[in-house]
Amino acid sequence: MHGLDFIALAGYEGNGASGRQVRLLKDLTTSINGRHVLLVEDVVDTGMTLNYLVKTLQLREPESLAAVTLLDRPYRRLVEDLPVRYVGFTVPDEFFVGYGFDLDERCRNLPDLRLLQPAG
């Protein structure tokens, strides 16, 4: 049986000692116990958010857990051993817009990915 569910996370700056934190905004509505789970990410950079999500979901005992991402920046990783199994594109450390990626809610509707050029 296949299924689709959504989870929402938010990153925020914690106190100086803890640095960047991740918190759960919306949890899954179905059990993943014993199921094969594929996490779909837009971009994987430092890996902090994905690491939090993987650790949280592993406690629910899925049969397997892997991730797919459209854009990957492995050279920015702060976390090792992430289950990023499928990668669309490995990209440079530059800002992309279009195809769902936005800058202050603008440019999200562009039909393709575009590199945002610095102003000036």
Report pLDDT digits (tens) over 40-94: 999 999 999 999 999 999 999 999 999 999 999 999 999 989 999 999 999 998 8
Query: Within 1-120, where are the H helices?
Result: 48-58
Predicted pLDDT of residue 13: 61
**Which of these, 11, 63, 6, lies nearest to 39 by C-alpha position?**
6
DSSP 5-38: ---EEEEEE--TTT-EEEEEEE--SS--TTSEEE
- Predicted confidence at residue 120, as pLDDT, reads 63
Active site residues: 45
Which comes out higher in pLDDT, residue 86 or 116?
86
pLDDT digits (tens, 9 = 90+) for 34-55: 999 999 999 999 999 999 999 9
- Contact predicate 57/32, CB 8 Å: yes
Tokens of 110: 């562009």
Q: Which of 11-15, 69-73, 113-117 has the lowest mean pLDDT?
A: 11-15
Q: Within 10 A of 112 (CB to CB), how many other CB atoms are there?
A: 8
**CATH 3.40.1160.10, applies to 8-94:** no
